[in-house]
Amino acid sequence: MLKSSPGPAGVPGRRTGAREYHPDGQADAMAVAPHSALVRVTHRVDALSFAALLVSGVAILLVHPRLYWGETGAAGAPSLIDLPLPTVFAGQSGWGRYLHFLAAWSCVFAGALYLVAGLWSGHLRRDLLPTPAGARTLAAHVWPRRPGNDDDFAYNGRRAVRGHA
C-alpha cells in the first residue's frame, strides 16, 4: 500500500530510507533512496509538534518560574529551582496549556500513523530492525569480551615501569 513502485524488497526503485549497495560490494554514496512521503510527513508533523510543545512549555513555566520537589509547592514555600526572572508572565498558561495538549495529540497521532504504516509496509522490519549480523555487532559493543586471561590486565611492576617510561 505504501510502496510507490512495484517490485520485491531489494530491487532498486523501492522507496525506503535504506542505502542501496551494488552487488560487487561497493557502496554508492549517491544511491540513497528517499524516505516515503508518509515517513516525511509524519516526521515533519512531529518536528512541528515538538516546537509547539517547547514554546507552550516555556510559556507555562514563565507564569510561575519555580520548580518544586515533593508533593506541593507555592510562593512562600521552599522551591528547588527559582528562575531569576525580573517578572512573571501572568496569564500565559491558558493558551500555553491549550497548545501543549493540541501539540501532544498531533505527536500521538503522527507517531501512531508512522508506527502502524511502518509495520504494515514492512519499513520497520526491513530498514530499522537490525540484521542478525548487525545485532551481533551491537551486542559485541554493549558487552565487550575481554581478550586473553585476566593476567593481561593485572597492574603489576612491569606495567608500572612501562607507564613511566
Partner 1 sequence: MMTRRRLITGGLVAAAGASGRSAAARIADRYGLIPPDHSGLFGAGETLTYATQRLLTAHHPLAREFDRSQISRVAPINGGPPENDDYQRLLHGRFEDWRLQVDGLVARPSSFSLADLKRMPMRSHITHQACEEGWSFIAEWSGVPLAHVLNLAGASPAARYVVLRPFDAFWDSIDMADAWHPQTLLTYDMNGRELPTGHGAPVRLRVTRQLGYKSVKYLSRLSVVSTLADVGDGQGSGAVAYGYSWYAGI
Residue 36 gets which letter from DSSP?
A: P
**Closest distance of CB 75 from partner 1, Å:** 6
Q: Looking at beta carbons only, is 2 or 106 nearer to partner 1?
A: 106
Q: Applying CB under 8 A, what is the total number of residues that bind partner 1?
A: 27
Query: Letter for the amino acid at 101?
Result: F
* Residue 84, helix vs strand vs coil: coil
Cell of 154: 593485572
Residues 53-112 that bind partner 1 (CB under 8 A): 60-61, 63-64, 66, 68, 71-77, 90-91, 93-95, 97-99, 101-106
Q: Is 13 in the site for partner 1 (CB under 8 A)?
A: no
Grid coordinates representing 137 are 555487532
Choice between 64 and 126, CB closer to partner 1: 64
Longest dimension (CA), the chain: 72
What is d(CA 137, CA 140) in angstroms, rounded to the nearest whole number?
A: 5
Q: Which residues bind partner 1 (CB under 8 A)?
A: 60-61, 63-64, 66, 68, 71-77, 90-91, 93-95, 97-99, 101-106
